[in-house]
Amino acid sequence: MTTTGRPIPRTDSFHTHVVPQDSYSQENGRSSARKVPLPRPGWLPESVWPFQSFGLEVNRSTVAVTDVGRGPALLFVHTGVWSFIWRDVIARLAGDFRCVCLDAPGTGQSSRLSGRAISMERSARAVTAVIEGLDLHDLTLVVHDLGGPTGLAGAAQAAERVRGIVAVNAFGWRPSGAFFRGMLTLMGSAPIREFDVLTEFVFRITTTKFGIGRHMNGPSRQAFRAGIDRQARRAFHHYLRDARNCDALYDDVERALSGPFKGLPLITIFGERNDPLGFQPRWKALFPGAPQFVVARGNHFPMCDDPDLVANTIRSWHRERVKPLQ
């Protein structure tokens, strides 16, 4: 059964006290990732990003990681824009969970890379490095959009550590069908990429109420866009291009979903107005017992449309369904 929630009007404020997680200061010999300081950039004031991030050196570049709160681990994964999309949900969950998120290579506070270096596989390797570098166990994956395949593929390299999956407007399979593959081809094309680099048309839309901006003020929207500069906008389109044909990664995802992840608890949370490709029914076919939640009047970023509702849904589901390894 699909449940529809009603959005709660919010203002753009942070009343939640976030407890910093200091476990990343401990060296972990299992990981090849090296932890490095990451100064706060001038475009990201604490008033709009009330967390301190740090860096992991992965594949000769720095991946920005944020690690706040204490409790069962939630690993938030998105590939394409950056971790700012999780801000409001993390602020609401950090009192009960250890909330970890990363900026995919080439975006947000992570190192900028050439187009040739951007790939879904590289993003998945960053997920693996975060899991091992922070020594995360009994973790729940929370994935969005392209973070579905990259998060699943990355976590599959440490499958024994995963206890649950939250799919937020995400997919986890090889793209098929003319519309889906055509959209990836168009948005990953050089003309669209360079037009967006010049005009920011995709990210101007993304910061409106149809994207992340329903409850965000001007400074928050400016900070989000600052994390998607010209190089990061190119990276966004390169990720979309690579998502069409990264067959080896989809093979890893398929093996994980039919193997070690098959029996895990899973929940889907989608915006009411943004499932044109029928991702929720596809998840239901893979996980028949999975609860499915729909955010009323929600779009592609339901965690931004109604962060209270999404945070409460994850908290309740986790309490009822997710069990640590005994």
User: What is the mean pLDDT of the segment spanning 294-321?
Assistant: 97
| Predicted local distance difference test score (pLDDT) of residue 274 | 96
Percent of the chain clearing pLDDT 90 (strictly above)? 87
**Alpha-carbon distance 182 to 241, whole Å?**
10
> Is residue 70, in this structure, part of any structural domain at all?
yes
Cα first-last separation, the chain: 30
Q: Cα separations (Å) of 89 from 72, 113, 206, 233? A: 15, 28, 18, 24
Percent of the chain clearing pLDDT 70 (strictly above)? 89
> Is residue 58, in this structure, part of any structural domain at all?
yes
Per the structure, the count of domains in the chain is 1
* DSSP sequence for 36-63: E--PPPTTS-TTT--S-EEEEEETTEEE
| Torsion on CA atoms 131, 66, 143, 303, rounded to nearest 10 | 160
**Alpha-carbon distance 244 to 174, whole Å?**
8
> Is residue 268, in this structure, part of any structural domain at all?
yes
Top pLDDT among 321 and 326 is at 321
User: What is the mean pLDDT of the segment spanning 54-66?
Assistant: 95
| Predicted local distance difference test score (pLDDT) of residue 59 | 87
Query: Per residue in 198-222, pLDDT tens?
Result: 999 999 999 999 999 999 999 999 9
8 pLDDT more than 50 = no
This model's pTM is above 0.85: yes
- Choose the weakest-confidence range: 18-27, 186-195, 281-290, 305-314: 18-27
Query: Per residue in 124-174, pLDDT tens?
Result: 999 999 999 999 999 999 999 999 999 999 999 999 999 999 999 999 999
> Is residue 176, in this structure, part of any structural domain at all?
yes
Please state the separation of Cα 123 from the chain's center in Å. Answer: 11
Query: Per residue in 246-257, pLDDT tens?
Result: 999 999 999 999
User: What is the mean pLDDT of the segment spanning 275-282?
Assistant: 97
Residue written as token pair 């706040």: 68
68 pLDDT more than 60 = yes
9 pLDDT more than 80 = no
Query: Per residue in 16-33, pLDDT tens?
Result: 333 344 333 333 334 456
> Is residue 171, in this structure, part of any structural domain at all?
yes
**Alpha-carbon distance 110 to 102, whole Å?**
8
| Predicted local distance difference test score (pLDDT) of residue 20 | 43
| Predicted local distance difference test score (pLDDT) of residue 147 | 98
Q: Compute the mean pLDDT over every residue in the chain, rounded to the nearest whole number.
A: 91
pLDDT band at 325 (very low <50, low <70, confident <90, very high): low
> Is residue 326, in this structure, part of any structural domain at all?
no
Which CATH number belongs to the domain containing residue 215 in this structure?
3.40.50.1820
> Is residue 34, in this structure, part of any structural domain at all?
yes
| Predicted local distance difference test score (pLDDT) of residue 11 | 36
**Alpha-carbon distance 151 to 221, whole Å?**
26
Segments forming the whole domain that contains residue 146: 2-321
289 pLDDT more than 60 = yes
> Is residue 7, in this structure, part of any structural domain at all?
yes
